[in-house]
Structure 1
Amino acid sequence: MISKTPFGRMVTVLAALFVSAGALEAQEFKIDEVPSVTSVAPSKLKPKTILFSDHRDDKLADAGTGLIRFEDWARERPLQKQLLSLFPDYVEPTIKVSVHGIPRSYTEKLHIYVVEARFLIGKAPGAIDLGRYTQLEVLEKIDPSIKHRRIDAEQAAPQADPHSVHNRHPNRRWCEAEGSLCIESRYPLEGKLPVGIRLANKLEEGGKKISESMDFQTEIRVLPLEEIGRSNFARLTGLDAPVAGVLEQTIFYVNQVMQFGKLLAILQPHPSDPGKSVATVFMALAVETDVLERKKEFESVPVLRNLIPAQVLMGKSSFNSGSSISAGLPDYVRNRIRAIAGQFEQ
């Protein structure tokens, strides 16, 4: 029985994490794949070139998906886990379910998709307005396919939904940080994916139907200098320069497939040219492991064999199309990183 959409739940998170720009603007930047961007010296950065790594070939990564088990990530890369999780002490959530009427608890295992990108900006950090990305009208213009509405702390799902309590922030409520923008967003799935969802719904033997639109909640904020000073962002970037600004986008609720998402865009002055900036972007998406393992139920239906979640997620399915979200995670993320670079250059 098919009960989860393989890709739609994921693409919504990506839409929230990565701002879009015009196609021409995005094409101005090229992608240069490297094993790790933090090991590349600033002197090696070139204009209009983005150093990029999503660690799919790392020893820690699963060979089939390129994703890393959360527990391995936390053990081997504790600084990333600290700064790119929902909050530093985040652990895989304990979920309560009912099996044949008997309540039981189990740990929701997660896999992490980790992205690093670094690029040069031809102006000083002080000339880059990160605060514009905390304005709803700017977000609406950036990607009109995603519809947003403001929400407050009372409407944040981890507060209002008992099934999401594990994503509550331990020190404050989501949407209460000073200067933050909190939004609830809806993204209608594109390309061939809605066709596959409709077919899966027809074959569904009962229970909740798969939605053709995705809902998620996001907190976006520019971190205050005192918070930057308490954190280890310079260690995370590996760049010997003061951190001048940090934009943080946190997905604290997604209705399906994902547990959370986090993006950090960190600005530092170029060590040898204060009139230029080095931007380092980190992204982590926590995918529910059981979604990646769902295979047999799709393989048993001939027309859905190419809808296997892991294949769709990584852009290896005939249901993937275009160059945007429906293209699959690797292509879409690269396009959105280009868009971020283009926005910062404006």
Structure 2
Amino acid sequence: MSLHRAAVLIAACVVTCNGAAAQEFQLEDVPAAASVPIEQIKPRTVIFADQRNDKLADSSTGLIPFDDWARSRPVQRRFLSLFPSFVEPTLKQQTKLKLSVYQAEARFRLTRPAAALDLSRYANVAFLEQIDPAVKHRTITAADAVPNKDAGAAHNRPPDRRWCEDANAICVQSRYMFEGKIPAGIQLANKLREESKKPIPDFIEFQSEIMLVTQPHLAELPSLTGLDSTVTSALEQNIFWVNQVIQFGKLLAVLQQHPTEREAAIATVYILIAVRNDVLNKQKEYSNTPMLRNLVPAQLLMGNSSFNSGDSLSAGLPKYARSRIKAIADIMERE
């Protein structure tokens, strides 16, 4: 190959790569996704909002008490809880397991009609691997789902069915190994704990069900998005068991036809994570131990610790939610 031809190919690659990078979605923080008129959403821009500055949020954690969230936002509770009738679990001692929630919502415009986009393509392990390569997955069956077989986790099972038995759903077990300084911090915390206490894992493991939303629930979703247009499809991931800190999680992606543009669609994505208050409160003693101050769970969860790193769960929920939603937007627009 001549030097001239090689130079031309390199230059073309640079232009192509820079162009591809420029085409990625950018995030724009707003008070609420629904507060931005559809016509003002810029191309390749994700309108993003979370509840950290919400009037209901606890000033010390940035999380909203589950009861306050459920009472003040019944529509969100209906669609974003693990299932509509979910309530805080009652423990063996007849005391309530109190929860707090982190909620993020985002909206972006896609340059194809909503009917041309098929969300069923994303109900698989390959999609999960694309939106967060740091998490490893394997498929499981109904017999593997913890709430189906463990009485201690039965409160996370819907009253009318068992997880993973729907023919249209797939279920996965996922594992994420903490990154950066967090594993070393956990190792130190375990050394300082009483020997009788169970060691803190240096990983998050969870089980979830992924499936398309079906009628009549599909037709009811505009009441959640606040956008009066046809919902063509919706995909949800219900995280129904987690090995520590988190009680449950939900990802819901809703596709609607653009109200005024035939060749465009609007996607609205929600992420909700319910966190156990007993873990947040129990481990506040870390703040009194100089070597462990950066391991206080609330700080780690909300990305306010010097131990936070990367773009996955080790980064904290706000950065994780942003990264995950941006990846979803990029995939939907590209495919």
Report the number of matched residues.
314
SS of residue paired to 1:330: helix
Q: Aligned AA for 1:176? A: E
CA distance in 2, matches of 1:40, 1:178: 38
The aligned runs of 1:88-99 (5 Å cut-off) are 88-96=84-92
Which of the numbers 186, 193, 208 marks the counterpart of 1:197? Answer: 186
2:287 & 2:244 partners in 1: Cα distance?
21
> Counterparts in 2 of 1:70-85, with a 5 A limit?
70-85=66-81
1:193–1:320 Cα contact (<8 Å) kept: yes
Deviation at 1:40, TM superposition (A): 2.1
Q: 1:295 to 1:116 in 2, by over 3 A?
A: same
Query: Which of these residues, 49, 52, 64, is aligned with residue 53 of structure 1?
Result: 49
What is the SS of the residue equivalent to 1:318? Answer: coil
2:102 is aligned, of 113, 116, 126, to 113
CA distance in 1, matches of 2:61, 2:247: 17
- For residue 4 of structure 1, what is the aligned residue in structure 2? none
Q: Which has the higher contact order (CA 8 A, sep 6+)?
A: 1
Q: Is 2:64 aligned against 1:68?
A: yes
Q: Tell me the equivalent position of 1:171.
A: 160
Q: TM-score, normalised by structure 1?
A: 0.86
CA-to-aligned-CA distance 1:20-43 (integer Å, 9 cap, x gap): xxxx76982222111111132211
> Could you say if the C-alpha distance between residues 25 and 345 of structure 1 is closer, same or farther in structure 2, counting changes exceeding 3 Å?
farther
Cα pair 1:26 1:335 within 8 Å, conserved: no
Q: 3-state SS of the aligned residue for 1:341?
A: helix
- Which residue number in structure 2 is paired with residue 16 of structure 1? none
| Structure 1 residues without counterparts, runs of 5 or longer | 1-23, 97-103
User: Equivalents in 2 of 1:184, 1:295: separation in Å?
Assistant: 27
Is the 8 Å Cα contact of residues 25 and 339 (structure 1) preserved in structure 2? no
**2:273 aligned residue:** 285
| 1:201-280 alignment, distance < 5 Å | 201-206=190-195, 207-229=197-219, 232-280=220-268
The whole-number CA distance in structure 1 between the counterparts of 2:287 and 2:271 is: 31
Match in the other structure for 1:180: 169
The alignment's C-alpha RMSD in Å is: 1.8
C-alpha contact (below 8 Å) 1:216/1:253 kept by paired residues: yes
Which secondary structure state, in structure 2, belongs to the residue aligned with residue 79 of structure 1? helix
Answer whether contact 1:26 1:338 (CA < 8 A) is retained.
Answer: no
CA contact (8 A) 2:302 2:317 kept: yes
Following superposition, the deviation at residue 227 of structure 1 comes to 3.7
**Sequence identity (%):** 52
8 A Cα contact 1:119 1:278, kept in partner: yes
Q: Which residue of 1 aligns with 2:302?
A: 314
Contact 1:95 1:106 (8 Å CA) reproduced? yes
Residue identity opposite 1:95 in structure 2: L
Deviation at 1:296, TM superposition (A): 4.2
Can you list the C-alpha shifts for 1:42-93, whole angstroms capped at 9, x where unaligned?
Answer: 1111111111110211111111222111111111100000111111111000
SS of the aligned residue for 2:199 comes to: coil
Structure-2 change in CA distance of 1:192 and 1:60 (3 Å) = same
Larger radius of gyration: 2
Q: Secondary structure at the match of 1:95?
A: coil
| Deviation (angstroms), 1:246 | 0.4
3-state SS, counterpart of residue 154 of structure 1: helix
Which amino acid in 2 is paired with 1:114? Q
For residues 22 and 136 of structure 2, what CA distance do their matches in structure 1 show?
22
Which blocks of at least 5 consecutive residues in structure 2 are unaligned? Answer: 1-19
Deviation for aligned residue 1:262: 0.9
Pair 79,121 (structure 1): closer, same or farther in 2 beyond 3 Å:
same
1:300, 1:200 → 2: CA distance?
13
Partners of 2:310 and 2:101 in 1: how far apart? 25
- Kindly indicate whether the alpha-carbon contact (under 8 Å) linking 2:271 and 2:321 is maintained by their aligned counterparts in 1: no
